[in-house]
Chain A
Amino acid sequence: GAGVSQSPSNKVTEKGKDVELRCDPISGHTALYWYRQRLGQGLEFLIYFQGNSAPDKSGLPSDRFSAERTGESVSTLTIQRTQQEDSAVYLCASSSPLNRAGAGLETQYFGPGTRLLVL
């Protein structure tokens, strides 16, 4: 596709339920990132995938959070036993190591986000 896509765009869930968020990166982008944006706060890094390398999970806030990516395609972020503090916008970004004119090396392009509300 032309850009990064995410689904669902909005998700309302009850405390304690599991949720799964999906990200489709830009075709050909080998790197994929998940960030969280809480109201009034900056984007927080969660996890990074680069090709077939082991993901960098250093930003995941607890073991309730996990993510998977198959090859260089779709990624899913799963939050188990959701808590009210998990309410946020979850943003996905992808990048390519190729130097593209006008963009610079490894510029991250973001999707529209999934707005998660935990009641």
Chain B
Amino acid sequence: EDQVTQSPEALRLQEGESSSLNCSYTVSGLRGLFWYRQDPGKGPEFLFTLYSAGEEKEKERLKATLTKKESFLHITAPKPEDSATYLCAVQAWGGAGTASKLTFGTGTRLQVTL
């Protein structure tokens, strides 16, 4: 069974204080690892997809990296508007007709203060 564990559960940073969020996963065969951002009362918003170990993607102050066992979401010089819950999910390879469902972690709640 595919599993995703995110840490820490919650993180409080001051504006400008860089940090990293961790996503550890076990999956039968990784098709893709996804990062989403979720604001209170809203649906998850897509950020990145990573497909293979060593891959990196960047968007503004965020950079996602991938190894064979985990992914990191690095936040450089965060701003208060980066406050949200960050969700990690994996998608496994399956046979024809197998659902491309995502298996999600429980998320990291990030709060960035002035």
Interface residues of A (CB under 8 A from B): 4, 31, 33, 35, 40-45, 48, 50, 53-54, 56, 58-59, 91, 95, 103-113
Contacts and interface: CB of A to CB of B under 8 A. Distances in A.
Contacts, number: 68
A91 B102 CA distance: 13
A48 B99 contact: yes
A104 B64 CA distance: 14
A41 B6 CA distance: 12
Interface residues of B, number: 26
A45 B101 contact: yes
Summarize A's interface: helix, strand, loop or mixed: loop
Contacts of B87: 42-43
Contacts of B99: 33, 45, 48, 50, 56, 58
Given A33-B101, A45-B103, A48-B100, A104 B32 contact: yes
B100 A42 contact: no
Interface of B: 4, 32, 34, 36, 41-46, 49, 51, 87, 89, 91, 97-107
Nearest to B59: A102
B68 to A, nearest CB: 19
A112 B43 contact: yes
B44 A110 contact: yes
Contacts of A42: 4, 87, 104-107
Given A42-B106, A43-B87, A107 B98 contact: no
Contact of A113 (B36, B43, B106, B107): B43
A95 B106 CA distance: 22
Interface centre among B42, B97, B102, B107 (most CB of A within 10 A): B102
